[in-house]
Amino acid sequence: MLFDERRIRAFVAVAERLNFTRAAADLGVAQQPLSQQIARFERDLGVRLFDRTTRSVTLTAAGSALYRDALDLLARNERAQRNALEASSGAAGQITIGVGNYAIDTILTDVLRAFRERFPNVTVSLFEHHTVDQLDALRSGTIDVGFALLAPDHEDIEREVMHEAGWVLARPGEGGVIDTAPCALAAFRDQAFVAAPRQFSPGLDDMKTVLFRSAGFAPTIAQYAMQTSTMLALVAAGVGLLLTPAATANLQRSGVEFVPIATPLRVQLHMIARRSERSSAVLENFRAIAREHRTARRWV
C-alpha cells in the first residue's frame, strides 16, 4: 500500500530527525533498510521528499506537505483504533435509561455519578416515564435499560431488585418523617386520599389495594394526579392523604409530614432489560455499576 502505516512512521521519523542514523535508531531498524524504504516511497509517490547531501538532510516542499498530512493520518489511525477498543470494552458509546420518580428519589443519582466517573465517554440519555411506558420502550428498543417500580414478570424481560423499602402515609404537617413507631393503616380509614391513575403503575396500585384490604377498608379517593409532586401538593392543601412508598419522604415537601405504616409488604424498584443472548458492553458495564448500588432500607 502506498500509505501503509509502517511507511508513514518511517517517513515521519526521518522528517523529524532529519538524520537517517538517528531515525533508524528511534525505529529500531538498521539505517540501510530505512534509506531503501524511503527511496521506494519516493519512487512510488513520484516526488522527492528529502534533499540529501553528505552533510545534511532537509525536507523538500513535497516532503513538508506530506509531513503535515502524515501527522494527521497517524493521529486519525490512533483515534480510530482507540475508538474501536473503547466501543468493544464499553468505554465509549451511548445508553438510554428509563426512569420514574421512585428511581430518581432513590438510587439514580448514585448510579449515574459512578457510571459517569468510570465511563466519561459514554453518552447517557434519560427516558422519564412510568413503569408501563418503560416496558413498552424497552421492547421497542427506545431504551436499553430501565428502573421500574414493581415491574411485572414477563418472559422477554429480565428484572432484578435494586431497591426496596416500606410504606409511609403523607399527611398535612410540619414536614419530615414522624419519629414514631409504625402506625396501622386502619387508623386512617375515615380520611380521604389522593392517588395516581392505575394505568401508570398497575403493580404499585395492586400493592396499595392489598394494603387497604388488609386494613379493612377501601379508600375514598378525593382526587387523582399523575405526578408525585402534585399529589404531595394536594396533601399539603388538605385535599387528602397519600399512601406512598417510603422513598417519597426523601422529597421533604413543606407542609407535609410522613408517618411510617406497619406492614411486611415491601416496595421494590427493579432494573429491567431485554432478555437476550447478546448485550452491548456499555449496557453490561452500566448494569454492573447499578448492582453495586443496590439498597434496602426499613422506612426511607
pLDDT digits (tens, 9 = 90+) for 78-116: 887 777 776 767 778 899 999 988 888 889 999 999 999
Indicate the number of domains in the chain.
3
Please report the pLDDT score of residue 300 as a whole number: 43
CATH number of the domain enclosing 119: 3.40.190.10
Q: Do 15 and 84 share a domain, yes or no?
A: yes
| List of residues 6+ apart from 173 with CB closer than 8 A | 255, 256, 257
Q: Do 196 and 65 share a domain, yes or no?
A: no
Q: Do 14 and 133 share a domain, yes or no?
A: no
Q: Do 145 and 281 share a domain, yes or no?
A: yes
Joined grid coordinates for residue 140: 421497542
Q: Sign (positive/negative) of CA torsion 85, 113, 298, 252?
A: negative
Please report the pLDDT score of residue 166 as a whole number: 92
Please report the pLDDT score of residue 104 as a whole number: 87
Percent of the chain having pLDDT more than 70?
96
CATH number of the domain enclosing 78: 1.10.10.10
Q: Do 202 and 240 share a domain, yes or no?
A: yes
* 169, pLDDT greater than 70: yes
Please report the pLDDT score of residue 55 as a whole number: 85
Q: Three-state secondary structure along 112-180?
A: HHHHHHHCCEEEEEEEECCHHHHHHHHHHCCCCEEEEECCCCCCCEEEEEEEEECEEEEEECCCEECCC
Q: Do 47 and 106 share a domain, yes or no?
A: no
Joined grid coordinates for residue 14: 526521518
Question: Residue holding cell 455519578?
Answer: 113
Q: Do the beta carbons of residue 111 and residue 293 sit within 8 Å?
A: yes
d(CA 223, CA 169) in angstroms, rounded, equals 16
Quick: pLDDT tens for 228-237: 889 999 999 9
Alpha-carbon separation of residue 252 from 18, 126, 248, 256, 271 (angstroms)? 70, 24, 8, 7, 25
Please report the pLDDT score of residue 299 as a whole number: 43
14-28, 167-181, 254-268: least confidently modelled range:
167-181
Q: Between these two residues, 1 and 112, which has the higher pLDDT value?
A: 112
| Per-chain mean pLDDT for the chain | 89
CA angle, 93 then 286 then 139, to 5°: 80
Domain containing 240: what range?
167-265
| List of residues 6+ apart from 227 with CB closer than 8 A | 101
* 296, pLDDT greater than 60: no
Query: Which of these three, 31, 55, 89, is where a domain ends?
Result: 89
* 297, pLDDT greater than 60: no
* 40, pLDDT greater than 80: yes
Q: Do 261 and 282 share a domain, yes or no?
A: no
Q: Sign (positive/negative) of CA torsion 143, 144, 146, 150?
A: positive
Alpha carbon 291 to chain centroid distance? 13
Q: Do 81 and 208 share a domain, yes or no?
A: no
| List of residues 6+ apart from 64 with CB closer than 8 A | none
Query: Which of these three, 89, 109, 133, is where a domain ends?
Result: 89
Q: Do the beta carbons of residue 280 and residue 148 sit within 8 Å?
A: no
Q: Do 96 and 85 share a domain, yes or no?
A: no
- Greatest alpha-carbon span in the chain: 105
* 2, pLDDT greater than 70: no
Please report the pLDDT score of residue 150 as a whole number: 80
Q: What's the one-letter identity of residue 119?
A: F
Q: Do 144 and 126 share a domain, yes or no?
A: yes
Please report the pLDDT score of residue 222 as a whole number: 97
d(CA 233, CA 146) in angstroms, rounded, equals 27
Could you tell me the pLDDT band of residue 161, with boundaries at 50, 70 and 90? Answer: very high
Quick: pLDDT tens for 203-228: 888 899 999 999 999 999 999 998 88
- Work out whether strand 92-99 and strand 145-149 pair parallel, antiparallel, or are unpaired: parallel
Please report the pLDDT score of residue 178 as a whole number: 81
Percent of the chain having pLDDT more than 90?
63
Q: Do 179 and 256 share a domain, yes or no?
A: yes
Query: Which of these three, 31, 59, 89, is where a domain ends?
Result: 89
d(CA 39, CA 33) in angstroms, rounded, equals 10
Please report the pLDDT score of residue 1 as a whole number: 57
CA angle, 237 then 241 then 243, to 5°: 140
d(CA 189, CA 232) in angstroms, rounded, equals 19
Q: Do 254 and 179 share a domain, yes or no?
A: yes
